[in-house]
Amino acid sequence: MLLFAGGPVWALEWCPTPDGAPATQYVALACYRGMDDVHRVNQTYTEPGLVQLWDCGRLKYNNRPDSQPVLVYGLAQDKGFIWQLKWCPAGGWEPPSSSRKAPFLPRLGLLAVATSNGVVTIYSLPHPDALLSNQKCPTPKKDDANPPIYKVRGVMTLKLGSVKAPRKEKSGQVLSMDWLPQKPHNIMAVGFYDGIVGLWDLSTKSALLRVRESDRSLTLLPYRCILAHDQAVRALTFCAASRHLLATAGEDRYVKTWDLRRLFEPIKVQRRYLSNEICWPLDIPGVMEAKDVAFVPQGSLGVHFLDHNLNTYFAISRSIAVWSLSYSEWVNGALSADALGEVIFSFLPVIQYAIPHIKRTIVKRFQFSDFDMTNLERIEKRALWKRMQSTEGKLKMDLDEMPLTALHKVRFSPNMSSHLWFASGGQTGLVRLHCLRSLFASQCKKMIADTQTQFNALYSQKDQREEQL
């Protein structure tokens, strides 16, 4: 499946849905307005921007929708171009048939948008069908060539500073952010160009942190700020198993782990290479890092796993910068997207307790393209496999050429029913959706059926109670 976003894609995220929900899958993304646009990370910009919401249909592990992805609506804003998008991990999705008092509509999710003027705005996105059916004037259908574009006010805006000393744009752009994956999902961490990491409590009632602006919009101030790095915070991630642990990676080549209960110093510091993106898997005691081409010796570029005992595992070897990575607990594997436009999938060994010594890691990696993935017999003889080997440590890239093939984002679907699907997008503006059908396990089929039964029973009881009321 393929869609065209209109420009180079720099932000892409799947909308999370509850386990067992027979829901349509949506992808939110943002791109540059022009193919040759260049922005400096040490400057702030204020210009028009657009968040696109794409309907990908009901994706399943054993089939695909008959139609291609459709742009259902867009969110226009004038706060600059968009580097990062992040959905609330859970609790934001409501069934499309749920009844809400006017003017409220059934909610699809809460989306945080980081813009180039140095702020993060949180929007409450409604279900597209409910939004289009609620319009008083005739609106185009979901499959129309001209989807509706809305300019709305966000639920709240996250800004640095205090009431008497606003930070304004002194900290530069927002380069990274993450939403607390544990309930009640009330903490957001945001990394800025000057090395500051701000922590926001979205549920706070403090009058010192909640500011009502002149246009009646709500601004939220951070309850803690730390100077995490000497230079820009390129990536950060919460620990999925603990609400108190946070990992950050900066342009000073440090990767630091913080305990949010004692922020006067990090609990672990590692200095290795320049990281473009990091993730903290749920069942692994460490972080995975996607390496940039700078400061890396030949043969060490790619995706590394580092545990808290400073042991390493080289998951994916590349010869060029890796822009993005994504991990899936469902298949215990990682995806990487690099400047060559290649997506590499790697199985991870059982590393919860000790790092295994694996010499031939290439037998655990696969490159994705248009060929039959249901049969992997003698895959090492195929031309695509041989190309993957040739680009792991030998290929040289001309940095004077425009990397038109570069992929900037790759993301696994976090939802159980579509956990084998992933999306990737980059410089060309094309976003591709792939299904790893050959990795489906028989145990997952029973799990999906059980969760669907639980979901139907839960929401049928809620509907009965609403009818009684």
- Given a cut of 70, is residue 372 above it in pLDDT? no
Hey, what amino acid is at 80? G
Give the least confident one: 32-46, 252-266, 360-374. 360-374
pLDDT of residue 458: 79
pLDDT exceeds cutoff 60 at 251: yes
pLDDT at 226: 94
Task: Round to whole Å and give the CA distance between 71 and 197.
Answer: 34
174 close to 163: Cβ distance less than 8 angstroms: no
Residues 6+ apart with CB under 8 A from 66: none
Q: What are phi and psi of 352, to 5 degrees?
A: -70, -30
Q: What is the pLDDT of residue 255?
A: 93
Residue 56 confidence (pLDDT) above 60:
yes
Determine contact, residues 424/431, Cβ cutoff 8 Å: yes
More confident residue, 186 or 1: 186
The model's pTM: 0.85
Residues 6+ apart with CB under 8 A from 47: 33, 78, 80, 81, 116
Q: Choose among 76, 212, 203: nearest CA to 151.
A: 76
Interval 174-197 mean pLDDT: 93
**Top-confidence residue, 110 or 353:** 110
Q: What is the pLDDT of residue 245?
A: 94
Question: In the predicted model, what is the mean pLDDT of residues 347-357?
Answer: 67
| pLDDT (mean) for 368-397 | 59
Q: What is the pLDDT of residues 422-465, one digit of tens each?
A: 999 999 999 999 888 877 777 777 888 888 888 888 777 565 55
Pick the closest to residue 57 from 444, 342, 417, 357 (CA basis).
Answer: 417
Kindly state which CATH superfamily the domain 2-443 is placed in: YVTN repeat-like/Quinoprotein amine dehydrogenase (2.130.10.10)
> For the residues of 72-115, what is the DSSP string, one character each?
EEEEEESS--EEEEEE-SSS----TT----TT---EEEEEEEEE
Instruction: Indicate the domain borders of the chain.
Output: 2-443
Query: What was the pLDDT predicted at 371?
Result: 55
Q: What is the pLDDT of residues 303-312, one digit of tens each?
A: 888 887 777 7
